[in-house]
C-alpha cells in the first residue's frame, strides 16, 4: 500500500508517458557519440545482469558484522512522514545497517538509505574488474562533484526532482524494480522557474501533479541488471514501490557540455560565482571553460536544449 503522502507526490504518472530509449548493448565509442555528446538518456537492458545476480538484501546482510552504521539516512523520502519515521527508527544517523536492512523487509516500511561512500560493507556493491569492463569507458573517469559510487538502499524509494551538476551518472539497478522520470531540457528552465524563483538550486520538492502536467515528462523503467545513463543537468526523479538496491556510478561530464552557457544551469552558476565574493577564485576557470565550450560546440552544431530521450 502506498502511503497517502506518497500518493500526493507528483512524478509524472499519466497515460502514454513516452519512454527513454532502451537498447541491448553499447560500446564505449557509441555511448560517447550518440548519448553523452548528444546529452540524451538511454537504458542499456541487462548490461549489469551478472552483477545484479550476485546482489540481494540477504547477501548484503551477510557481509555485515553488526557494527556498521548506515553512513547517511536521508530523511524519510516523504517529508510529511519524518516524525513517524524518527519515532520508529530513532536518530536516523545512528541506525545500524543490519537493523536498517531488517526494517526494509517490513512491507509497511518506507525507508531509504543513501550511502555516499561505498566502502566497508558496502564495498560489496562496488563493481569488480569484470563488471567494470561492462561499463563504457568514460565511467572510469573520476567525477567533479560527486562520489564515484553511491548506493540507494530502500524498502520503498522516493528521490524527488533534482539534477546533477557537471557530472554524468550511470544508474545500475541491482535489486527490485525502479522507475525514473525526466523532464526534457527544453522545459528545464521553465520547470524550475515555475516551482521556485531561485534558479541556482538543483532540487525541488513537492511539485503538484497540476504543475507537472505543463511539462514534457519521460519515463525509464529499470529491472535488476539494467543500467540507465542520466545526462548532466537532466531533471529526474526516482521511485520504487518495493525493496530495491541501486548504485549510481558518476563520472566527469565532457567540458564542452558541462560549461555550455546555453544551459540555464550553467548561467545560474555563473551568476552565483560573480555574485559571491568567496567564489571569485572560480572566475578564471569560467573564463577558460565557457569560451572553450562555445568554440567546440560551434563545430558540433548540437544544441543541448533540444536533446530528446528517444
Ligand X SMILES: O=C(O)CCC(=O)C(=O)O
What is the per-residue binding string for ligand X in 218-237, x denoting contact by CB under 6 A? Answer: ------------------x-
Q: Which is nearer to ligand X, 114 or 297 (CB)?
A: 114
Q: Which is nearer to ligand X, 157 or 289 (CB)?
A: 157
Q: Which is nearer to ligand X, 235 or 289 (CB)?
A: 235
Q: Which is nearer to ligand X, 247 or 297 (CB)?
A: 247
CB 241 to ligand X: min, Å: 12
Q: Which is nearer to ligand X, 240 or 263 (CB)?
A: 240
155 binds ligand X (CB under 6 A): no
85 binds ligand X (CB under 6 A): no
40 binds ligand X (CB under 6 A): no
CB 42 to ligand X: min, Å: 15
238 binds ligand X (CB under 6 A): yes
What is the per-residue binding string for ligand X in 157-196, x denoting contact by CB under 6 A? Answer: x-x---------x-x------x------------------
Cα torsion at 99, 100, 101, 102 (round to 10°)?
A: 50
CB 140 to ligand X: min, Å: 18
Q: Contact region for ligand X (CB under 6 A) — 52-60, 151-159, 188-196, 289-297?
A: 151-159
Indicate left, alpha or beta for 93 from its phi (over 0: left) and psi (-120 to 50: alpha).
Answer: alpha
How many residues make contact with ligand X (CB under 6 A)? 10
CB 95 to ligand X: min, Å: 18
CB 210 to ligand X: min, Å: 23
153 binds ligand X (CB under 6 A): no
Q: Contact region for ligand X (CB under 6 A) — 126-134, 152-160, 207-215, 266-274?
A: 152-160
CB 248 to ligand X: min, Å: 4
133/166 Cα distance (integer angstroms): 24
Strands 167-175 and 227-230: antiparallel
152 binds ligand X (CB under 6 A): yes
Cβ neighbours of residue 1 closer than 8 Å, sequence gap 6 or more: 108
Residues that bind ligand X (CB under 6 A): 152, 157, 159, 169, 171, 178, 236, 238, 246, 248
Amino acid at each position: 500500500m502506498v502511503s497517502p503522502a506518497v500518493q500526493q507526490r507528483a512524478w509524472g504518472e499519466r497515460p502514454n508517458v513516452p519512454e527513454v530509449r532502451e537498447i541491448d548493448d553499447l560500446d564505449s565509442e557509441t555511448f560517447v557519440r550518440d548519448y553523452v555528446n548528444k546529452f540524451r538518456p538511454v537504458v542499456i537492458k541487462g548490461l549489469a545482469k551478472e552483477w545484479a545476480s550476485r546482489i540481494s538484501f540477504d547477501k548484503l546482510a551477510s557481509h555485515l558484522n553488526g557494527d556498521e552504521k548506515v553512513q547517511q539516512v536521508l530523511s524519510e523520502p516523504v517529508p510529511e512522514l519524518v516524525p513517524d519515521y524518527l519515532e520508529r527508527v530513532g536518530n536516523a544517523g545512528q541506525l545500524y545497517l543490519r537493523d536498517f536492512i531488517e526494517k526494509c523487509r517490513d512491507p509497511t516500511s518506507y525507508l531509504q538509505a543513501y550511502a555516499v561512500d561505498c566502502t566497508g560493507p558496502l564495498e560489496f556493491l562496488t563493481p569488480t574488474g569484470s563488471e567494470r569492463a561492462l561499463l563504457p569507458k568514460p565511467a572510469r573517469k573520476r567525477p567533479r562533484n560527486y562520489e564515484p559510487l553511491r548506493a540507494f538502499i530502500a524498502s520503498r524509494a522516493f528521490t524527488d526532482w533534482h539534477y546533477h551538476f557537471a557530472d554524468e551518472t550511470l544508474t545500475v539497478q541491482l535489486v527490485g524494480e525502479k522507475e525514473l522520470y525526466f523532464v526534457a531540457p527544453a522545459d528545464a528552465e521553465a520547470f524550475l522557474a515555475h516551482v521556485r524563483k531561485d534558479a541556482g538550486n538543483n532540487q525541488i520538492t513537492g511539485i503538484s501533479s497540476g504543475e507537472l502536467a505543463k511539462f514534457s515528462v519521460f519515463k525509464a523503467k529499470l529491472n535488476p541488471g539494467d543500467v540507465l545513463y542520466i545526462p548532466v543537468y537532466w531533471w529526474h526523479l526516482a521511485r520504487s514501490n518495493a525493496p530495491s538496491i541501486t548504485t549510481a556510478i558518476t563520472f566527469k561530464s565532457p567540458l564542452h557540455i558541462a560549461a555550455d552557457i546555453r544551459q540555464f544551469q550553467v548561467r545560474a552558476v555563473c551568476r552565483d560565482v560573480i555574485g559571491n565574493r568567496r567564489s571569485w577564485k572560480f572566475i578564471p576557470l569560467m573564463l577558460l571553460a565557457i569560451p572553450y565550450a562555445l568554440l567546440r560546440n560551434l563545430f558540433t552544431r548540437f544544441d543541448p536544449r533540444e536533446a530528446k530521450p528517444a
